[in-house]
Amino acid sequence: MAVIGRVALVGAGPGDPDLLTRRAVARLRAADLVLFDALVDERVLKLARRAQRFFVGKRAGRHALSQAEIHAVMIRAARRGRRVVRLKGGDPFVFGRGGEEALALQAAGIPFEIVPGVTSLLSGPSLAGIPVTHRGVAGSVLVTTGHDVEAFSAMVRGLKAPGVTLIIAMGYGRRMPLAEALLEAGWPASTPVALVAGASLPGQHVWRGTLSRLAAGEGACDGEAPTLIVVGDVAAMALVSESDLVEDEREWRMRRSEC
């Protein structure tokens, strides 16, 4: 019988290596091969000390490997007995295409596991001091993407706005039509909005405003960091520590800079 390796689909969290889970760290340390995307931090990759590292993400608008090629590489490596880590920003099953990869592994009979990660969709707002749920303010959270404005419009049209926090990934470039869609769906112009760029990373930026200000073109941020859009009453909250912690307590300090 052939030696069979295994694949772990691992969530790398929002970026900061301290937000990796212990299991993610263990899998990286034991890995022979790591396949990683553009959003994975260099400090995270360094934990895979004995592994061959293989970039399979999108750079300058081009995919290094197609999804089918990624599947083929994982399956081939596992069949050769290697321990493969497929490392994804955030959580592998939250907008990570992890489902497609798990299906391919399952069909090929390769042993695999899912290692959940801290999704940036929820931790991004948290690290900006926004509780995505808050008693008497928001009791539900809708996470979605912003790449299809039409589908987004159809979905939010019937959604009751009060009490729902809306978190939009991959929508920063279309933030004006997305804000328009919410206004047309009847969300109040004064609904608070926050943009959270580069959550958990040293350059984390937060912009706070309203739906009407976003629709009017405010909220431009410099930089390439992925930017979340948070819409709802909680977006006006900024639960960050007001104290000045001493310099050597950097880990404890909430980084806050404004767009």
233 is catalytic: no
Q: Which of 34, 45, 132, 178 binds a second copy (CB under 8 A)?
A: 132
Q: Which of 61, 62, 135, 222 binds a second copy (CB under 8 A)?
A: 135
For 168, the enclosing helix (H) or strand (E) is strand 164-169
Rounded CA-CA distance 88/95 in Å is 10
Q: Which of 10, 12, 17, 196 binds a second copy (CB under 8 A)?
A: 17
The interaxial angle of helices 175-184 and 149-157, nearest 10 deg, is 30
Residue position matching structure tokens 């920003």: 89
Residue position matching structure tokens 């900061």: 16
- The least distance separating a second copy from the CB of residue 95, rounded to whole angstroms, comes to 5
Whether the Cβ atoms of residue 216 and residue 202 lie closer than 8 Å to each other: no
Applying CB under 8 A, does 57 fall inside the site for a second copy? no
Applying CB under 8 A, does 106 fall inside the site for a second copy? yes
Rounded CA-CA distance 154/245 in Å is 46
Q: Which of 81, 139, 188, 202 binds a second copy (CB under 8 A)?
A: 139
Applying CB under 8 A, does 164 fall inside the site for a second copy? yes
Applying CB under 8 A, does 214 fall inside the site for a second copy? no
Q: Which of 16, 37, 41, 233 is catalytic?
A: 37
Rounded CA-CA distance 81/136 in Å is 53
Q: Which of 81, 111, 202, 203 binds a second copy (CB under 8 A)?
A: 111
Rounded CA-CA distance 73/79 in Å is 10
Phi and psi for 102 in degrees, rounded to 5?
A: -65, -40
Judged by beta carbon, residue 144 or residue 227, the one nearer a second copy is: 144
Applying CB under 8 A, does 201 fall inside the site for a second copy? no
Rounded CA-CA distance 45/60 in Å is 21
For 184, the enclosing helix (H) or strand (E) is helix 175-184
Q: Which stretch binds a second copy (CB under 8 A): 55-63, 117-125, 190-198, 222-230?
A: 117-125
Q: Which of 68, 103, 189, 220 binds a second copy (CB under 8 A)?
A: 103
The partner residues of 144 in beta bridges, in order of sequence, read 168
Applying CB under 8 A, does 81 fall inside the site for a second copy? no
Q: Which stretch binds a second copy (CB under 8 A): 32-40, 133-141, 206-214, 222-230?
A: 133-141
Q: Which of 18, 32, 41, 58 is catalytic?
A: 58
- The least distance separating a second copy from the CB of residue 96, rounded to whole angstroms, comes to 8
Residue 146 is which amino acid? G
58 is catalytic: yes
Q: Which of 1, 3, 22, 42 binds a second copy (CB under 8 A)?
A: 22
Applying CB under 8 A, does 80 fall inside the site for a second copy? no
Whether the Cβ atoms of residue 173 and residue 227 lie closer than 8 Å to each other: no
Catalytic residues: 37, 58
